[in-house]
Amino acid sequence: MPEERSLYLFASVLSAAIFGVEVCPVQVEADVSNGLPSFIMVGFPSAQVKEAQERVRTALKNNGYQFPPKRITVNFAPADMKKEGAGFDVPVAAALLAAFEMISPQVVSRVMMAGEIGLDGEIHGISGILPIVLCARSLGSRFCVVPYENLKEGRLIRDVPVAGVKNLRELVECLKNPEPYLKREIQEENPSIINTDMGMDFSDIEGCTENQDSSR
């Protein structure tokens, strides 16, 4: 007898953690399997990060994304550093949507994401977007998805397409069809801010940027 489909579903999304002037990439992994319905987070998340469990689940429900009762595990890798802040809400939501096949796991591949989600699905700005985008550039990410409030800051870095989203529905639209969405967002921006030749020095930001320094 063929094995039932959807016994095991998995998705992974790229994000980053900031520790002072150091930024480290983080893989946000979501696993969905049969078993007693539950939702657990592992990988050394702080209490604030663990709160994403209820924020994300409620926001998805309030926007029409209903999950069947399954065993859900979200892992933050690497597990040897504490994950803090509300910026992991967006990658957790994207990983869950991909794991439940509401979006294709391929659309989240090599996309850096960060942002806080409200219970109504609105995506709020966070601090530290600039080093996160720098990390994405160092890792060769396809593009970044950030809160719309942080779009101006994110686009100070050249060579990394950055999309700003205001809510969960825009997040899903952007991931499913990124090219038109990125073009639309870019047209809304003042081109003068998409420029790093402003006398700004990013050399104090460590972590991902070290890879770029060594390649010069």
Give the mean model confidence (pLDDT) for residues 19-30. 92
Domain range 8-189, its CATH number among 2.60.40.2470, 3.30.230.10, 3.90.580.10, 3.20.19.10: 3.30.230.10
Give the Cα separation of 43 and 65 in Å (integer): 26
**What confidence score (pLDDT) does residue 215 get?**
47
Let me know: does 163 contact 185? Beta carbons within 8 Å: yes
What are 45-66's pLDDT values in tens digits?
A: 999 899 999 999 999 999 999 8
Q: How many CB atoms lie within 10 A of CB 36?
A: 7
168: left (phi over 0), alpha (psi -120 to 50) or beta: alpha
Q: Which residues contact 91 (CB under 8 A, 6 or more apart)?
A: 13, 14, 15, 28, 113, 114
pTM: 0.82
Does the pLDDT at position 41 exceed 50?
yes
Does the pLDDT at position 141 exceed 80?
yes
Let me know: does 52 contact 86? Beta carbons within 8 Å: yes
Let me know: does 162 contact 155? Beta carbons within 8 Å: yes
SS3 122: strand
From the list 108, 119, 114, the residue with the least C-alpha distance to 165 is: 114
Let me know: does 78 contact 44? Beta carbons within 8 Å: no
How does residue 201 score in pLDDT terms, banded at 50, 70 and 90? low
